[in-house]
Amino acid sequence: MTLYTGTLQESFGALVHGLKPNLKKICAKNRFLGFIDKDDLYQEALIKLWDNLQGGKLQDKTASYILRGCYFHIQNYIRTHKVHNNIMSLDEPVVSEEEGPFCLKDVIKDDTADFFGELNSRLIVSGIMNNGLTKREKDVCGLLYEGLTIREVAKRLSISHVRVLKIKQQINRKYAFYYKEDL
């Protein structure tokens, strides 16, 4: 690939123009799900390309070779820039005072049971709404989840309350496994 047709900036512009579609695909495919998004990765790849072009490392290299180098650089960038969480126990002493150790549980209210119950309910409703319900079933399910009665749902959707009851039974049959407890 002949890159040096003019100034360094012109060469870089030509290089980026030729590689942009493939480079964008690489960045979108290898996107890290944390704070790094595909635009950050694309910018990082461009910086690496600029450094390599300035250093003369891209002289007589094919587009495939350059893209492979960008791919490996992006992988390494993601690996080295992951956020590492510091997990602490609520029982772990943070400060030692005269009265005794001061723990996180003394400051942070532990509502894990309520939190996980609420999260589980939301995940079940989300799973039901996004997997295999007809539009009418989604409408009925959504209104019932909001707390409306069967008759209120029927009135809102302009259908009979018997039809709402049948739709509710269809939903229950489809997703009965969510409600069964392990024996």
Of the pLDDT bands very low, low, confident and very high (cuts 50, 70, 90), residue 183 is: very low
The pLDDT value recorded for residue 116 is 63
Q: Taking the model in full, what pTM does it have?
A: 0.43
> Residue 120 corresponds to which amino acid?
N
Of the pLDDT bands very low, low, confident and very high (cuts 50, 70, 90), residue 10 is: confident
pLDDT at residue 57 greater than cutoff 70: yes
Chain-centroid distance of CA 96 in Å reads 39
Class of domain 8-80: mainly alpha
Per the CB < 8 A criterion, the answer to whether 27 and 78 are in contact is no
Residue with tokens 């005794």: 100
| Per-residue tokens: 89 | 């126990």
The Cα–Cα gap between 44 and 27 comes to: 10
Which of 33, 53, 56, 35 lies closest to 45 in space, CA to CA? 53
CA distance to 28, 101, 169, per residue, from 11 (Å)? 25, 64, 66
Strands 93-97 and 100-103: antiparallel
Class of domain 125-176: mainly alpha
**pLDDT tens per residue, range 13-24:** 888 899 999 988
Q: Mark 71-107 as b/e (b = at least 16 C-beta within 10 Å).
A: bebbeebbeeeeeeeeeeeeeeeeeeeeeeeebeeee
**pLDDT tens per residue, range 82-94:** 655 555 566 666 6
Chain-centroid distance of CA 152 in Å reads 36
Domain regions of the chain by residue span: 8-80, 125-176
Q: Mean per-residue pLDDT for 38-64?
A: 88
